[in-house]
Structure 1
Amino acid sequence: MSSNYVIKLTALGPRVRGLRAKCLPKDKLNALILAQTIDDAINALKGTDYGNVIEKLGKITDEAQITNEIRTYVVKSISSLASSVPSPASTILKSYLMRLELENIKVIAKSLMKGLEGGVTLESMINVAVEEELGRRHVLAAIMSVRDIEDLRNKLMEMHHPAGPALDSFVKVSKQYSQYGNALIDTLIDRAFIEYLAHLAEIDNSVGKFVKGLIDFYNLNVFLRSKLWGLSQELVNELVIRTGNVFSTAIKIYGESPTRILEEVASVFPSLDQLIKVAGSSDLRTLVQYLGPFSYRFAKDLEEYMVSLFTEFSPGAALATVHFRFIESDLVITLLNAFLEGLPRDFIVKLYGPVI
């Protein structure tokens, strides 16, 4: 199998290797986490691609600025990789950019629900670069002027957009669970992205293996958060992706104790044991608190597993590397924005230190 990838996708391996080499080493990430000021954090990133992006920004003034510039860099690096390799790898890698378009839709949906704070404009929070790379500026043009969440849903459904069914589900459940509005939008649109990638699995077996890992981790998030928040089985059924080891195990025992759910899910999804180790506890509230930071560790482990199983010449391993790069960039954005949000540094160290 590996030799077939080398023959068919000879150009892919070296380029994936090059992208992996640009990922932040452990010492840089630790320095970023331990930084006491934003200047210390910027110094920690010097000599890296992220450092170059931040240097071009000059004075950092707001979270949207950091988020947009780093994501634009990620968009261009993914697009560059996709355009330099043959099909089907090029098609598969470019498809990952849909994630960034879906992030734009999250921003629009949340602004329709609660508005924007502190004089922030919607335009400043939208990443136009991804639409330009995808040749889909017409999507933004169609949805930027929508009146409300239902109007957004209708526009997306008309375009047969992956986010259309997600917003349709949101409209159905949000009235009963309005206190979880933002979380529901994030969850349902994340599901839409994974389901979008799942359609690529038929192109290559390695892609299917990668998507299977994403599905299990997504479903773990849904079950743990839903159990903590006391969400009904009916709503859980609306949120989960109905396949994979985590789903088939947890759905049958959702009404039982958290301890039982953790034991059973860990037996089919070893990453849960790793999450418990990182959190230093099997307490449900603590585990949910660490789910976000742990996504970095999970993405890193999944990428290493995919490369060892299929080599860097496979589309699935390349997709896993691109995914890890996105998750890493999200971590950098979070750590930099934490200074602007005024979050206590000891809290950041406690939450993110164990996942590196």
Structure 2
Amino acid sequence: MANKVSIPSKIFGTVLAHSMRGKMLSRTELQTLAESRDVEELVTRMKNTIYLDALAKLTKPYTAEKVEGALREHLVNTHAKMVTLSGGAGVLNAYFVKYITWNLKIILKGKALGRTYEELLPKINLRAEELVGRRDLVVKALVAKDFDEAVASLQGSEFGEDARKAAAVYKEKGDVRAFDTYLDHAFYKSLDKSMFSESPLQDVQKLVTVDIDAYNVLAVLRAKYWGLSAQETSDLIATTTTKISRDTLQKMINVEKIQEAIGELSNTAYRDLIPKSAENDIDAIMQLEEGFERASVRRIMASYRTVFTLGNMLATLKLMMLEIRNLAAIAAGVEQKIPVDKIMASMAKTTVQ
């Protein structure tokens, strides 16, 4: 059964979504923030933006980590408000899982690299888990004495099998990005279920399709880079869309070289994203990832042409996720005294205004 969003809720939710979109920071405002001399000055400047309340609880000394944690909590609270306004729309609920996978990625990568509980704790914000009653899941992994115990703690949850496979790839290949790919697989499986229940919502589908396509293509390419078998690679494919069919993904799996696999996109709607010049396979994959991100932002902006839709709410949440990622990058850059032009270059592809 599709979730029916009541008309008043939809109107109130989309008005809020449009209002929030209108308050998002321009590139000039982001540049001003990046020009801060230190994190304390950055926090002072950010208090002149919509993030005033989000930063109100921060205590000195300010750090980039504390700023990011406060911003993520604000994002989670805003997302929860949207879910309530939408009457519990499945697709908005499904995107909530992203915050849980975010924490699990930090924990598993950290444990794999020998980080202690004390080192990892400040990086974790459990607000999302508290809202959906999943706090124990993340805490068990966080307090585990080592990497293997953290992975084992997830068995029995929807992340268990993917965490186990990611651990095996990491142990063999030494690439922590395995955790990104495999935990995203768990997320897209849950997203698929919600999309099935809300399939008539075309405005939502357009936004979600680009995410699924990006995940599938990049998962196949990374699996090729790691030298996984055809079956292991195929197992990473979540669900497929009409834009990039399972047949196309299978052709990508079957060819030998990564560049050849990317070439298979020439027969899809994403042919324009194929990198024109890449130094090596990893560079090609990263260029493609940035291309998909730009395509996602274009799709988000186009979704506002139709008003009073669930898509407006999802689009605004996705923009907010990007903005907060940019602000976290600014905070880290300011703290590490990275030149302003370098900080700004790192987010050139994803600024939303």
Range into which the TM-score falls when normalised by the shorter chain: 0.7 to 0.9
Whether contact under 8 Å (1:306, 1:320) holds in the other structure is yes
8 Å contact 2:188–2:239 — kept in the other structure? no
Displacement of 1:354: 4.7
2:19 partner letter:
G
Query: 2:191 maps to which residue?
Result: 197
Q: Does the 8 Å contact 1:198/1:208 carry over to 2? A: no
Tell me if 1:231 matches 2:221.
no
**Larger fraction in helix:** 1
1:71 shift after superposition: 0.4
Kept after mapping to 1: 8 A contact 2:98/2:187: yes
Alignment match of 1:335 (pick from 330, 335, 345): 330
Q: CA distance change for structure 1 residues 286 and 108 in 2, over 3 Å: closer, same or farther?
A: closer
153, 167, 172: which one aligns with 1:176: 172
Q: Which of structure 1's runs of 4+ aligned residues deviate more than 6 A?
A: none
8 A Cα contact 1:63 1:337, kept in partner: yes
Q: Which amino acid aligns with 2:18?
A: R
TM-score, normalised relative to structure 2: 0.79
What is residue 87 of structure 1 aligned with on the other side?
87
Is 1:222–1:239's contact at 8 Å kept on the other side of the alignment?
A: yes
**1:74 Cα offset (Å):** 0.6
Give 5+ residue unaligned stretches, structure 2: none
- Residue number in structure 2 paired with 1:314: 309
CA distance in 1: counterparts of 2:323 and 2:37, whole angstroms = 20
Are 1:165 and 2:164 an aligned pair?
no
Q: CA deviation at 1:154?
A: 3.6
Structure-to-structure mapping, 1:1-356, within 5 angstroms:
9-32=10-33, 35=35, 37-38=37-38, 45=46, 47-50=48-51, 53-54=54-55, 57=58, 59=60, 61-83=62-84, 85-89=85-89, 91-116=90-115, 121-158=119-156, 161-177=157-173, 179-180=174-175, 182-205=176-199, 206=201, 207-226=204-223, 229=225, 231-234=227-230, 235-241=232-238, 243-244=240-241, 245-246=243-244, 248-254=247-253, 255-270=255-270, 273-274=272-273, 276=275, 281-283=277-279, 284-290=281-287, 297-308=294-305, 311-356=306-351
- Partner AA of 2:299 in structure 1: L
Instruction: Specify whether residues 5 and 303 from structure 1 end up closer, same or farther in structure 2 by C-alpha distance, changes over 3 A only.
Output: farther
Which deviations, in whole Å up to 9, do the C-alpha atoms of 1:141-191 show, x marking residues without a partner?
A: 444332344433443233xx33222112223433322x11x2001111122
| Alpha-carbon distance change, 198 to 38 in structure 1, aligned in 2, over 3 angstroms | farther
- Give, in whole Å, the separation in 1 of the partners of 2:284 and 2:267: 17
Q: CA RMSD in A?
A: 3.4
- For 1:268 and 1:322, locate their aligned partners in 2 and report how far apart those are by CA, in whole Å: 27
Higher alpha-carbon deviation: 341-350 or 106-115 = 341-350
Give distance in 1, aligned partners of 2:118 and 2:289. 25
C-alpha distance 343-273 of structure 1, shift in aligned 2 (>3 A): farther
Distance 1:208 1:328, change over 3 A: same
The secondary structure found in structure 1 opposite 2:348 is helix
SS in 2 for 1:215: helix
For the residues of structure 1 that align with 2:333 and 2:290, how far apart are their CA atoms? 13
Q: 1:286 to 1:156 in 2, by over 3 A?
A: closer
After TM superposition, give the deviation of residue 54 of structure 1 in Å. 4.6
Q: Which amino acid counterpart does residue 204 of structure 1 have in structure 2?
A: E
- Measured at CA, do residues 353 and 329 of structure 1 come closer, stay the same or move farther in structure 2, by a change above 3 Å? same
Cα gap change, 1:136 to 1:253, in 2 (>3 Å): closer
Deviates more, 1:345-354 or 1:197-206: 345-354
Separation (CA, whole Å) in 1 of partners of 2:312 and 2:189: 18
Q: 13-22 or 236-245: which moved more? A: 236-245
Q: Which runs of 5+ in 1 are unaligned?
A: none
57 and 290 in structure 1: CA distance in 2 versus 1, 3 angstrom threshold: farther
- 2:239 & 2:195 partners in 1: Cα distance? 16
Number of residue equivalences = 338
Instruction: Answer yes or no: is the 8 Å Cα contact 1:170–1:184 preserved in 2.
Output: yes
Whole-angstrom distance in 2 between the partners of 1:58 and 1:8 = 36
Separation in structure 1 between the aligned mates of residue 250 and residue 325 of structure 2, nearest angstrom: 30
Q: 1:220 to 1:155 in 2, by over 3 A?
A: same
Partners of 2:9 and 2:87 within 8 A in 1 = no
Contact 1:112 1:149 in 2 (8 A): yes
C-alpha separation between the residues in 1 aligned to 2:209 and 2:22?
A: 25
CA separation of 1:124 and 1:294: change in aligned 2, threshold 3 A: farther
**Contact in 2 for aligned 1:5/1:314 (Cα 8 Å):** no
- Opposite residue 332 of structure 2, the aligned amino acid is N
Query: What fraction of aligned residue pairs are identical, expressed as a percent?
Result: 21
Amino acid at match of 2:315: A
Q: Kindly tell me: are residues 56 and 147 of structure 1, through their superposed partners in 2, closer, same or farther at Cα, counting changes over 3 Å?
A: closer
When the two structures are superposed, what TM-score results if normalisation uses the length of structure 1?
0.78
The letter of the residue matching 2:227 is L
